[in-house]
Structures are given as structure tokens and as C-alpha cells.
């Protein structure tokens, strides 16, 4: 790990041309020193937590360079050196009982204990904490479809653990991963169906030694085709974890086109897509940068003439829906359209904030 980082850092020092292409596509890099300069002098604490860990810089760099691993490593060091108080951000940590999602579900009486669970089922649904917390209607609809189509008879209401990894909490992340592996293998689960790209890619990595198959909902559920209805024109925001493989990007575009939705693309899509502002937990450390990302993306979406901005990641959807840019553009999850379950996400973040203000 340390050797890899050393190699990456040396590569940046020797190969970065300081051409500015990466800074052009990233507000955070635009206000920072060049990657070569940072590699030479080391990463500050503020820089480490200002990066959205979105990897767009790697996608745009002609040499495939990215300072992201240096920021991630600096986060780990900051935790080891106790430069930050972990208590301050426990509120979004999955291993902390009173985290915001658990509290939200308790407050709004959202739970899934009434769903039919068969302990002998080897196929479970893993909705991910954002979807199961903020979109119980979609979560239930997906579960019901998986139940009918695949005989899926189980739902795991855990987080994939991403915030622990992103914050550099390596020990806690490892303990959480061990807990997930024990739970999944203990239930005899052979297949997990995911709806969130963050969960999909992280679980595929952390569970690879277990042989558990990780699938996306888009490859297992039958969606409607050739709708005769008057469908709105859509534009799609691609989510960061899907940047290089594009699995969700392809599957959701195919499903929407098959349904008869007209897609109008923004200028920056697929590998070039910007972060929605929720990556790397920057909304905690740099809310100004997070808001800028949202505003810029909403403007870009507005200029396509689309009526709906969709994403296949609910964190992106919630982040876009929280800001009103005075436009007719509505923000939805792809599955709201494909499953015919409409939801208004405009006030979700406010509803969460309200609980903590009381």
C-alpha cells in the first residue's frame, strides 16, 4: 500500500506536465497547487478533505495521473495522528448507532421488518442506506419485483461501509467489512442485488474472496418497454463510482431508451461526469465546494432542455434536489421512472436537518 503510494507520487512528480487539464474540470484543484507541486511538497489536511475522491482528474489527464490517492492516504494519516476529532463526523458513520440515517428511519417510522424474509433464501436485496432511508417506496417496490422475479426473500439493511473508507478510518472500515462478511456468509447468501453504484463496486471488492455474486437491479428486473405515454425528456447524471466501468451508465440508458424515454445528454457525461457534491464527504468539510458542484451541474442539465434530471445514485439525486435553481427541471431517480413510483425529493434533506434541530 505504502509502496504503491510512493510509486504513484513519484510518477506524478516525473510525468505531470502541469498542463492544467485536471484543474479545468475540478473546482477544488483549480484553487490548489498543481498535482506535481503537491506531490513534491506533500498534502495538507485541508487539501485531503477538500477532494471529492471522484477520480475525474484521472479520466481527463492525458497520462492517467491522479492526485486522489495522495489525498486518500493523507486522510488515513490524519486519523492515525489524531489530527481530527472522530466524534465530529460520527453522525454519518455506519458503525455509529445514532447516525443520521438510523435516526431518520426511527423518526419517520421507516423499517422493513414486515417484509417476508426466508432465512433459507440465497438471494438478498442490498438497497444501501441512502435508498432504504430516503426512498422507502422505491425500496419496497424493488424488493417486491425481486421477490417475484428471482425468488429473492431477504433484505439486508446495512450500509456498504463507504463513509468509513472515505474518511480514512481504516481500522473501523476493516471491522465493519468483517462484520458484513460474517453476516452475509452466515446467512448463506450467494447473490446480492444492489441498486446503488457505490454499494455495487465496494461490495464487489470487499466480498470478492467470499464468492458472493454482486448484481445490479438493472440486469435482473424486467422494466417496461415501448411506453405509449407522453414521457418527459431526460438528461442523465453519471455517478463517480461508475466512471471507468460504466456498468450503470449503460444499463440505465438502455432501460430508459427501451421504455421510450428521449435522452438528451449533457456536455460532461460518463468518464467526464463531475461529482454531484456528495463525494468524499466534502459537504461536511467544504460545503461551498459541494454547493458549487450542484449549481454547475444543474445549470448544465437545464441547458439540455430536459424536463427531468435523473441519476442512478440516490445520493446524487438528493444532492441535486436540495437546491432550487429556479427552473422547471425536476430531479428523480432512474427507478422512479422505470418502476412508475414517483417521489418528490425536494425537502428530504430539510426533513433530516429538522430532526437534529429539535
The helix or strand, by DSSP H or E, that contains position 173, with its residue range, turns out to be helix 170-186
Tell me the CA distances in angstroms from 135 to 95, 252, 307, 324, 339, one per residue in order. Answer: 21, 18, 21, 20, 13
**Interacting span for ligand SF4 (CB under 6 A) from 49-57, 123-131, 313-321, 343-351:** 49-57
Pick between residue 8 and residue 126 the one whose CB is nearest to ligand SF4. 8
**Cβ proximity of 345 and 134 under 8 Å:** yes
Spatial separation of the C-alpha atoms in residues 268 and 253, rounded to whole Å: 15
At a CB cut-off of 8 Å and minimum separation 6, what does 264 contact?
233, 234, 235, 304, 305, 306
Asked if residue 294 binds ligand SF4 (CB under 6 A), the reply is no
**Interacting span for ligand SF4 (CB under 6 A) from 53-61, 89-97, 115-123, 316-324:** 53-61
**Interacting span for ligand SF4 (CB under 6 A) from 46-54, 97-105, 160-168, 205-213:** 46-54
Side by side, the strands of the sheet bearing 330-333 are 234-237, 308-311, 330-333
Pick between residue 34 and residue 252 the one whose CB is nearest to ligand SF4. 34
Asked if residue 290 binds ligand SF4 (CB under 6 A), the reply is no
268: left (phi over 0), alpha (psi -120 to 50) or beta: beta
Asked if residue 127 binds ligand SF4 (CB under 6 A), the reply is no
Asked if residue 83 binds ligand SF4 (CB under 6 A), the reply is no
Asked if residue 19 binds ligand SF4 (CB under 6 A), the reply is yes
Asked if residue 35 binds ligand SF4 (CB under 6 A), the reply is yes
Binding-site member from 39, 48, 61, 313 for ligand SF4 (CB under 6 A): 61
Binding-site member from 8, 9, 34, 276 for ligand SF4 (CB under 6 A): 34
Pick between residue 33 and residue 115 the one whose CB is nearest to ligand SF4. 33
Asked if residue 52 binds ligand SF4 (CB under 6 A), the reply is yes
Q: C-beta of 274: minimal distance to ligand SF4 in Å?
A: 8
Tell me the CA distances in angstroms from 323 to 158, 246, 253, 317, 326, one per residue in order. Answer: 28, 27, 25, 11, 9
**Cβ proximity of 169 and 211 under 8 Å:** no
Residue written as grid cell 449533457: 266
**Interacting span for ligand SF4 (CB under 6 A) from 29-37, 147-155, 160-168, 336-344:** 29-37
Q: 272 is written with which cell numbers?
A: 467526464
Binding-site member from 39, 65, 155, 329 for ligand SF4 (CB under 6 A): 65
Q: Work out the end-to-end distance of the chain between its first and last CA atoms, rounded to an integer number of angstroms.
A: 44
**Contacting positions for ligand SF4 (CB under 6 A):** 16-22, 26, 28-29, 34-35, 51-57, 61, 63, 65-68, 275
Amino acid at each position: 500500500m505504502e509502496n504503491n503510494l510512493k510509486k504513484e507520487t513519484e510518477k506524478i512528480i516525473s510525468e505531470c506536465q502541469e498542463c492544467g487539464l485536471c484543474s479545468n474540470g475540478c473546482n477544488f484543484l483549480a484553487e490548489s497547487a498543481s498535482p506535481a507541486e503537491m506531490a513534491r511538497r506533500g498534502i495538507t489536511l485541508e487539501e485531503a478533505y477538500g477532494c471529492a475522491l471522484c477520480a475525474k482528474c484521472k479520466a481527463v489527464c492525458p497520462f492517467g495521473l491522479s492526485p486522489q490517492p495522495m489525498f486518500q492516504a493523507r486522510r488515513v494519516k490524519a486519523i492515525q495522528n489524531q489530527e481530527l476529532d472522530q466524534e465530529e463526523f460520527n453522525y454519518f458513520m455506519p458503525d455509529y448507532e445514532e447516525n443520521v440515517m438510523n435516526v431518520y428511519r426511527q423518526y419517520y417510522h421507516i423499517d422493513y421488518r414486515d417484509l417476508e424474509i426466508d432465512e433459507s433464501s440465497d438471494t438478498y436485496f442490498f438497497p444501501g442506506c441512502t435508498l432504504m432511508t430516503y426512498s422507502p417506496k422505491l425500496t419496497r417496490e424493488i424488493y417486491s419485483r425481486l421477490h417475484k422475479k428471482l425468488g429473492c426473500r431477504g433484505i439486508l439493511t446495512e450500509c456498504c461501509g463507504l463513509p468509513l473508507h472515505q474518511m480514512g478510518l481504516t481500522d473501523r472500515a476493516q471491522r465493519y467489512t468483517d462484520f458484513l462478511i460474517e453476516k452475509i456468509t452466515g446467512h448463506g447468501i450467494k447473490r446480492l442485488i444492489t441498486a446503488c453504484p457505490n454499494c455495487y463496486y465496494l461490495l464487489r471488492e470487499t466480498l470478492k474472496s467470499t464468492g458472493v455474486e454482486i448484481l445490479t437491479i438493472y440486469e435482473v428486473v424486467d422494466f417496461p418497454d415501448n411506453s405509449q405515454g407522453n414521457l418527459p425528456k431526460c438528461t442523465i447524471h453519471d455517478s463517480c463510482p461508475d466512471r471507468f466501468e460504466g456498468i450503470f451508465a449503460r444499463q440505465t440508458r438502455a432501460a430508459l431508451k427501451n421504455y421510450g424515454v428521449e435522452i438528451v445528454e449533457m456536455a460532461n457525461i460518463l468518464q467526464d461526469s463531475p461529482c454531484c457534491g456528495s463525494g468524499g464527504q466534502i459537504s461536511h468539510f467544504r460545503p461551498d465546494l459541494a454547493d458549487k458542484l450542484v449549481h454547475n451541474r444543474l445549470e448544465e442539465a437545464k441547458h439540455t432542455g430536459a424536463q427531468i434530471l435523473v441519476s442512478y445514485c440516490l445520493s446524487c439525486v438528493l444532492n441535486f434536489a436540495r437546491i432550487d435553481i429556479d427552473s422547471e427541471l425536476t430531479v428523480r431517480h432512474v427507478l422512479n421512472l422505470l418502476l412508475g413510483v414517483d417521489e418528490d425529493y425536494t425537502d428530504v434533506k430539510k426533513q433530516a436537518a429538522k430532526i437534529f434541530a429539535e
